[in-house]
Amino acid sequence: MTPDEMAALCSRAYHHMRPWSARQFADSLAQPTHLLEAHPQAFVLGQVVADEAEILALATDPDRQRQGHATRALLGFHAAAALRGAGRILLEVAEPNTAARAFYRAHGYDEIGRRKAYYPQAGAPPADAVIMARALP
């Protein structure tokens, strides 16, 4: 999946935050610590540093949600991160994004903290970021 395809998918999928641009994806993919698990309908972009992974972006085509695409991408990311030596994965999700939080909880993530007023929102006060984590086997 190219940076342009990732940006296009994000522009359709992200409703709780501003989507990443193709340039942001290209810059991220150029970093040796970054890891992309991409499928035609979904992707997970993250990074692995030492023994910890972080999910930076996950997107699924809105017309293909609830068909297992995001789950396949996430499980692929888990496996690839573990191969790079990660023992734990962290992520941040906007507090109002209850669907994403439920998705991550269903895949073994627990809420471990918050960043107050982290995500800007149009016409509303900034939303908290919920920090979630899970161990890798």
| Token pair in block for residue 74 | 């996430």
> Active site residue: 37, 54, 95, 104, which one?
104
Q: Where are the beta strands (DSSP E) in 18-109?
A: 34-39, 42-49, 52-60, 88-94
Strand partners, 96: none
Rounded Cα distance, 64 and 114, in Å: 30
54 classed as catalytic = no
What pTM did the predictor assign? 0.90
- Backbone torsions φ then ψ of 55, nearest 5 degrees: -85, 125
pLDDT at 17: 66
Residue 92 annotated in active site: yes
Could you list the mean pLDDT of each consecutive 10-residue stretch along the chain, which spans 137 residues?
91 76 94 94 96 95 84 97 98 93 97 94 90 96
Residue of 54, 92, 95, 109 with catalytic role: 92
Contact call for residues 95 and 111 (beta carbons, < 8 A)? no
